[in-house]
Structure 1
Amino acid sequence: MRIVVDLNRCQAYAQCVFLAHETFRLTGEEALTYEPNPDDARRLQVQRAAAACPVRAIVLDHQDGAERGVTS
C-alpha cells in the first residue's frame, strides 16, 4: 500500500492521526507527517483513517492490484 496526502488540501483536522497514529502524525500544531508505505498489518487502520478525512486529502494506492486508486 502506498499513501499520498495532498498537503495543500489537508487542514490538520487530525482524524487520520486518531485512527492510525503509527502512520500519521502532527508535527508542531498543524504539520502532518506520514509513513508513505506502511506495512499490510496497518491496512485497515489506514483505510479507516483515509475515509475519515473530512477534506479527502488522503489517497491510497493498493500496490497488490486488488484495489487501485481508492480515494478518500
Structure 2
Amino acid sequence: MADSEMQKLIKRINELAHKAKEEELSEVEKIERKDLRAKYLQKFRESFKSQVEMMQVFDKSGKEVTPEKVRKVQRGKGIRGD
C-alpha cells in the first residue's frame, strides 16, 4: 500500500474516532471503522515484517549477528548471497 493510501486510511480512522467522541456512530460507520482498523493493522504488519526481513544486525565490533531465521528469509528472497 502506497504511503498516500495509508495516510488516507489513517485520516478516515481519525475522522471516525473524533466523531465517536462527539456523538454515537451509526452502525454503518462502526462497521467501516472496524474494517479500516483491520486494513491498517494488516498493512502495518506487512510493512513491519518487510523491514525486519531486510535488516542486518551487527555487534559492537562490527561482526554481523543477524539471526539465522532472518538470514534464511533473505536468502530465499535473493537479498543475501552467503
Instruction: Give TM-score scaled by structure 2 length.
Output: 0.23
Q: Bigger relative contact order, structure 1 or 2, given CA contacts below 8 A and separation 6+?
A: 1
Q: Which has the larger radius of gyration?
A: 2
More helix by share: 2
More strand by share: 1
Instruction: Give TM-score scaled by structure 1 length.
Output: 0.25
